[in-house]
Amino acid sequence: MELLHQTFQGTPIEGIEPLIDLALDLRWSWNHGLDELWREIDPDLWSATRNPWLVLLAVSRTRLKKLLQDESFRRKLEAVREHRRQAEEQPGWFARAHPATALTSVAYFSMEFMLSESLPIYSGGLGNVAGDQLKAASDLGVPLIAVGLLYQMGYFRQVVDREGVQYALYPYNDPWQLPILPVRDANGEWVRMKIPLLSATIWLRAWQAQVGRVTLYLLDTNDPENPPMHRGITGGLYGGGPEARLEQEIVLGIGGWRLLHTLNLSPEVCHLNEGHAAFAILERARCFMQDHHQTFPVALAATRPGNLFTTHTPVPAGFDCFTQALMERYLGRYAQAGLGISNRELLALGRMNADDPNEPFNMAYLAVRGSGAINGVSRLHGQVSRRIFQILFPRWPQAEVPVGFVTNGVHPATWDSAHADRVWSDACGKGRWLGELDTLEADLNRAPDADLWQMRLSDRKALVDYVHARLARQWADQGADDEAVARAYHIFNPDVLTMGFARRFAAYKRPNLLLHDPKRLVRILTNPQRPVQLVIAGKAHPADLGGQALIKEWIAFIARPEVRSHVVFLNDYDMEMSEHLVQGIDLWINTPRRPWEACGTSGMKILVNGGLNISARDGWWAEAYTPDVGWAIGDGKEPDDDAAQDAAEAEELYTLLEREVIPAFYTRDHNGIPTAWLARMRASMARLAPQFSANRAVREYTEKYYIPGAERYRRFSADQAAVGAQVVAWQKALEQHWPAVRLESVRIEPAGSEWTFETAVYLGDLDPGAVRVELYADAIDDKGPVRQELARDAPLVGTAGGYVYRTRIPMTRALSDYTVRLVPYHPDITVPLVATHILWQR
């Protein structure tokens, strides 16, 4: 009732509480059944805002009272409430699959979350992944809480004029009109916290959004007690220079973990979605120090196993880095007073050389050195990340750099159309995305051809209607007269093959590869027998002048009279537009320069709606592509010459469109169905939609990282961090004694069908149990490298710490393939993640 009195001034409206509960639970953003409810309250406002909380705030009290007295509306309301209640009370996949586990909570940190257009705190792909994983965690019942920032303006809104010039606008996000609430403590007080910043402390305000079973906590600095320079820290997403970015990342990481500690939340696992939140590692250790009276090294060793770092960056230059001066200015006092370490020790966590004053502090390095596991976001990106981070593991083979991968996925229920939802429900059941997906391929393959093709006809028609309305408004905003605006409704045809390219405009994504040969593209688009229409959308970062120039090229091309009815550029690409595009597009075009696309998710969104992909062999498509599910361009190799690659892949793209894609779409049987196209469409939906869903990704994170991480954290932190303290002592012994370790030459002798390897090792004062002697050979045929341990034999008489080590191995590979090496060993740690020492035979 307190919320009613605060928000709906005057006499409370009887029966409105259920509507408030529904409006403040973002579960509605992936529940088609709720759309009708909000539309009935105010169709125009719902269409304009897609924000049910704002609908409730803005609609007249008379209208609300009338609806709540209407029996038909009350029945609808009760039906959706019952559906929500059942979804909340039904045990999820996690409870069924893992009834006894050490995992009680995961804290998921991200700089951005794309959940709904009503909560505009996202930019693009990173937020897309974060938002979809929160929704999937809710569906599956994975015990996850999330932490992010509440931006006063969020990312910029785009306007492109008739000449193709992009303008950036920053509308204000009024938090009281967003579907969020202040976080309250047990006394009902709004949770506000102080964190140190520079020579002062600043206030952070805490908000929360409900995402089904998942709570998302959001911090902002727009508190009246803060000075103006600090109130604006959470003003915009990815704006400002390095200092502004550092301030935001301190708020996210240090402030975010401090909020959880303040709320008495104790997650075993901290999942860092990119390195922006890596300062959470430090604050988690500080809180552990405070609670358990331990030193920073022991606290870090105890908490590190529970930290997971997911990197999305395909090039080293993409990591956030800060100068020594900035780090000392902002975090020097925190390091010394809070962590009990020197500035040098702090900087060492984010540098290769702690004593190099010119080397910046790298947030990814901090994330690696503070995490118990690291992963890339596709199989190819895992390989790329191992290459990037090899610098942190000198002399270790790239294949052993400790970076795994979990390929991203999207949340199908967010991105499917109402028609697609019905097709999937008829074939696979209502609860198809709530558990394991083993039967979905077989179930979807039983859907009738006619149903699948009717779905595409309906969704393409809906997209064309959307393009008409959006383009008319866009042209009116650009100052076009009424006659010109009316022409917007005659562009595009719902029966024509519709292609789409929509993503951030950046050079590496090659958004203008299609324009490599403009005349050929014109011929493809305007073929009178087999015409094609193309939707283009996307923003270039305000500081990326090259990306903005690529937009201008498209606007100039679209101005040609012969293509005006075949190509459109839609301004201000956002989540709401993305939903329309991925539901109606027949062919999604993706042209990144390999291997710069870490994963990519835009092409995944069309899978559930029956759209097909034509893409470069990068990111997720490198592992998804087979000839029966879509088309691929490029040879899957990294180019030596970008210009030559662009020319070759543009030629391949045009040729595929002319010879395979377009003919497959327009060649129909007697029922008007394009059988070859439909076969690919069915295979893509049935096989790829489940595999590249957030359901699969979150289950993989849970079983591969969350549960093992929770078990390791509990073991390391138990008994006042006894295991953590042992690991610290082991690390100190390695540092002290490793320089004296020697590995002598190896003696090799045949023994039947085997080779016998024998070597002498001199460990000095180092405990023999702290190392392993291994026989190593590089991987062949996609199998992992050979790592065979040599057994320790009798001590060498007359030596300090000298031992003989022996092993046998079959004569199945060339003798020259094998090398003996010495590596650290501890039963509770991962090598080389925690200890990078290695000694190879000479």
**DSSP letter string, 14-73:** TT-HHHHHHHTBGGGGG-HHHHHHHHHH-HHHHHHH--HHHHHHHS-HHHHHHHHT-HHH
Going from the C-alpha of 598 to that of each of 1, 193, 306, 407, 698, the distances in angstroms are 47, 36, 24, 9, 18
pLDDT of residue 4: 43
* pLDDT for res 5: 41
Asked if the model's pLDDT at residue 243 lies above 90, the reply is yes
User: Which strands form 497-502's sheet, in the order they lie side by side?
Assistant: 567-570, 532-537, 497-502, 587-590, 612-616, 630-633
What is the 3 state secondary structure string of 639-683? CCCHHHHHHHHHHHHHHHHHHHHHHHHHCCCCCCCCHHHHHHHHH
Q: Are 84 and 210 in contact (CB under 8 A)?
A: no
Pick the CATH number of 741-840 from 3.30.420, 2.60.40, 1.10.357, 3.90.1200: 2.60.40
Backbone angles phi, psi at 57, to 5 degrees: -70, -35
What are the residue ranges of helices labelled H in 271-378? 279-292, 296-303, 324-333, 343-348, 363-369
Question: CB burial class (10 A; 0-12, 13-18, 19+) of residue 597?
Answer: buried
Q: Where are the domains of the chain?
A: 2-89, 104-160+177-408+702-717, 416-692, 741-840
Length of the chain measured in residues: 842
Question: Quick check: helix, strand or coil at residue 558?
Answer: helix
Residue 344 and residue 389 in contact, taking contact as beta carbons nearer than 8 Å: no
Q: Please, are residues 191 and 206 in contact by the beta-carbon 8 Å criterion?
A: yes
Q: Under CATH, which number does the domain 416-692 receive? A: 3.40.50.2000
CB 58 within 8 A of CB 41: no
Bridge partners (DSSP) of residue 435 are none
CA 145 vs. chain centroid, Å, equals 16
Which residue from 540, 467, 500 is spatially nearest to 123, judged by alpha carbons? 540
Q: Which superfamily does 104-160+177-408+702-717 belong to?
A: Glycogen Phosphorylase B; (3.40.50.2000)
Q: What is the mean pLDDT of the chain?
A: 95
Inter-residue contact 682 to 452 (CB < 8 Å): yes
Task: Please name every residue paired with 771 in a beta bridge, in sequence order, or none if there are none.
Answer: 824
Beta bridge partners of 536: 501, 569
The pLDDT value recorded for residue 287 is 98
H/E stretch holding 455 reads: helix 449-477
Cα separation of 108 and 147, whole Å? 6
Q: Is the pLDDT of residue 9 over 90?
A: no
pLDDT at residue 708 tops 50 = yes
- What residues form DSSP beta bridges with 747? 758
Question: Can you tell me the distance from the alpha carbon of 597 to that of 619, in angstroms, rounded to the nearest whole number?
Answer: 5
Rounded to whole angstroms, the Cα distance separating 646 from 315 reads 20
pLDDT tens per residue, range 174-231: 999 999 999 999 999 999 999 988 878 899 999 999 999 999 999 999 999 999 989 9
One-letter amino acid identity for 620? W
Question: Which parts of 753-842 are beta strand (E)?
Answer: 754-762, 771-777, 786-789, 791-795, 802-810, 819-824, 839-840
3-state secondary structure 411-454: CHHHHCCHHHHHHHHHHHCCCCCCCCCCCHHHHHCCCCHHHHHH
748 touches 806 (CB < 8 A): no
Look up tokens 């007359």; give the residue. Answer: 798
How many whole angstroms separate alpha carbon 772 and alpha carbon 472? 70
Q: What is residue 686's three-state secondary structure?
A: helix
pLDDT of residue 362: 98
Query: Half-sphere exposure of 426 toward its Cβ, with a 13 Å CA cutoff?
Result: 13
Please check the confidence at residue 33 and state whether its pLDDT lies above 90. no
| CA distance linking residue 581 with residue 502, whole number of Å | 8
Beta bridge partners of residue 210, listed in sequence order: 25, 215
Write the burial class of residue 48 (CB in 10 Å: 0-12 exposed, 13-18 middle, 19+ buried).
Answer: exposed
| Omega before 832 within 30 of 0, i.e. cis | yes
Query: Is the predicted pLDDT of residue 8 greater than 80, yes or no?
Result: no
Structure tokens given for 292: 């358990």
pLDDT of 37 > 80? The answer is yes
β-bridge mates for residue 746, sequence order: 759
Give the pLDDT mean for 600-617. 97
Residues 177, 48: Cα–Cα separation, whole Å: 14
Element (H, E) at 745: strand 742-751
* For residues 506-518, average pLDDT: 96
Are 484 and 609 in contact by the 8 Å Cβ rule? The answer is no
Smallest CA-to-CA distance from 548 within 504, 486, 583 is with: 504
Same topology for domains 104-160+177-408+702-717 and 416-692, yes or no?
A: yes
Q: Which residues on adjacent β-strands are paired with residue 168?
A: 158
Q: What pLDDT is stored for residue 7 in this prediction?
A: 56
Number of H helices, E strands in the chain: 34, 28
d(C-alpha 409, C-alpha 807), whole Å:
44
**Distance between CA atoms of 131 and 534, rounded to whole angstroms?**
28
Is the per-residue pLDDT at 1 higher than 50?
A: no
| pLDDT score recorded for residue 271 | 98
What 3-state DSSP class applies to 730? helix
Contact 615, 630 (CB under 8 A): yes
Alpha-carbon distances, residue 808 vs 164, 752, 757, 780, 804 (angstroms)? 69, 11, 6, 20, 14
The long-range contacts involving 321-329, CB below 8 angstroms and separated by at least 24 positions, are 321/242, 321/360, 321/361, 321/362, 321/363, 322/242, 322/245, 322/246, 322/360, 322/361, 322/363, 323/242, 323/360, 323/361, 324/357, 324/359, 324/360, 324/361, 326/242, 326/243, 326/246, 327/246, 327/361, 329/198
Tokens of 244: 């502004």
Q: How far apart are CA 646 and CA 4, in angstroms?
A: 59
Mean pLDDT of 755-772: 95
Which pLDDT tens digit goes with each residue over 343-395? 999 999 999 998 999 999 999 999 999 999 999 999 999 999 999 999 999 99
Neighbours of 574 (CB within 10 A): 18
For the segment 56-89, what is each residue's pLDDT rounded down to a tens digit? 999 999 999 999 999 999 999 999 898 888 888 8
Output the CA–CA distances (angstroms, integers) from residue 281 to 252, 306, 518, 560, in the order listed.
11, 10, 51, 54
- The residue-averaged pLDDT of 95-100 equals 95
Query: What distance in Å separates the CA atoms of residue 782 and residue 832, rounded to the nearest whole number?
Result: 21
Average pLDDT of span 635-664: 94
DSSP state of 400: G
